[in-house]
Structure 1
Amino acid sequence: MTRLLDLTIALPPRWRRRSDPEHGVLVHARAGGVPAGGAAPELVLRCAPVDDDLAAWRRAAHAELEQRLVGFDLEDEDAFELVGRPVIYARFGHRLGLAELVSEQWSWLIGRTGITLTGTVARDEYADYCDVFEAVAATFEPGSRVA
């Protein structure tokens, strides 16, 4: 378990970790080595101030991702509760160089703080990592000092 700014999340063991809280990156964890798909699986937990509700914030974020990411394709999106907290889930495809990637995001709004967990992997390895990403998202605990 990793505790950051009174947040708790369980990351895969042996994944390299770094953070840059001044730029909203609470933790960036990356698997060691690069699998055949050409992109090391990674998880990034970010925070940012949000002046909107959860759904509007995520709609705006997806519009921004569509502009920034090559080949952005929103494949799935859902709003539900994960471990008793409202969350918006999204899965989208995109490219980085020649690599075809899939990212999954879980986004929570805690007070006026938006928290997003993004798991990214090469499309060919998605089936090997989607359960890992979901299991990590299920461990998210916002703590009391986030809002």
Structure 2
Amino acid sequence: MTTTARPHLTVAVPRTWRRRSDPERGVVVAARSVLLPASGVRPELTLRAGPVVEPDAATWRAGALTALAAVLVDFALEDDDVHDLDGHEVVHHRFAHRVGAADVLCDQWSWLVDGYGVTLTCSVAREDHPDYGDLFDAIAATVELTRRAA
């Protein structure tokens, strides 16, 4: 049996955002802005983590996007990129979907470290993305994954 050691994770959450006190299983941090933009869609972030059985990040994320497309209304992938962020390969996706009448845009960063997957998803109404895109990038830059000793 192979066991995967969960890396130590940290992320900086904006001061004016409130963390969910009891997030669902697999969610490390879930937070929302206390400020409600004119769009009526509160910006939010979710940091998820868990073991990954797929052999590489590309396969893992392709499966995850297929699963999202099956459950999100009007899912549309708008950006698909792989880059390095502080020494870790990061898969970045931007996708849109609808929540009621709202056109929601999500930026998603994913890391795969020693068989453990970490995904940060930041969501906001499309019309508010110009105001929040840089903040989302800054939040992603604060995600730290530290390997734990075996």
**TM-score normalised by L of structure 1:** 0.91
Aligned pair partner of 2:106 in 103, 106, 124: 103
Distance in 2, matches of 1:93 and 1:35, equals 18
Aligned pair partner of 2:39 in 31, 37, 49: 37
Q: State the Cα distance separating 1:140 from its structure 2 match.
A: 1.0
My pick for the range that moved more, 25-34 or 115-124, is 25-34
Answer yes or no: is the 8 Å Cα contact 1:110–1:146 preserved in 2.
no
Distance in 1, matches of 2:24 and 2:43, equals 24
Distance in 2, matches of 1:146 and 1:99, equals 45
**TM-score normalised by L of structure 2:** 0.89
SS class of match (2:39): coil
Question: 1:55 maps to which residue?
Answer: 58
Distance in 1, matches of 2:32 and 2:38, equals 15
| Unaligned ranges ≥5, structure 1 | none
Aligned-residue sequence identity (percent) comes to 50
Flag the 1:104–1:146 CA change in 2: closer, same or farther, 3 A.
farther
SS class of match (1:38): coil
Flag the 1:63–1:130 CA change in 2: closer, same or farther, 3 A.
same
Q: Which has the larger radius of gyration?
A: 2
Question: 1:94 maps to which residue?
Answer: 97
Q: State the Cα distance separating 1:80 from its structure 2 match.
A: 1.0
Deviations 1:13-44 (A, max 9, x none): 12000255661010001000321112100010
Q: What RMSD in Å do the two structures reach over aligned CA positions?
A: 1.8
Distance in 2, matches of 1:94 and 1:20, equals 25
Distance in 2, matches of 1:88 and 1:43, equals 17
Aligned pair partner of 2:127 in 103, 124, 129: 124
Answer yes or no: is the 8 Å Cα contact 2:19–2:31 preserved in 1.
yes
Q: State the Cα distance separating 1:79 from its structure 2 match.
A: 0.7
Deviations 1:107-139 (A, max 9, x none): 001111110000000010000001000001111
Question: 1:139 maps to which residue?
Answer: 142
Answer yes or no: is the 8 Å Cα contact 1:19–1:26 preserved in 2.
no
Q: How does 1:20-31 map onto structure 2 within 5 Å?
A: 20=22, 23-31=25-33
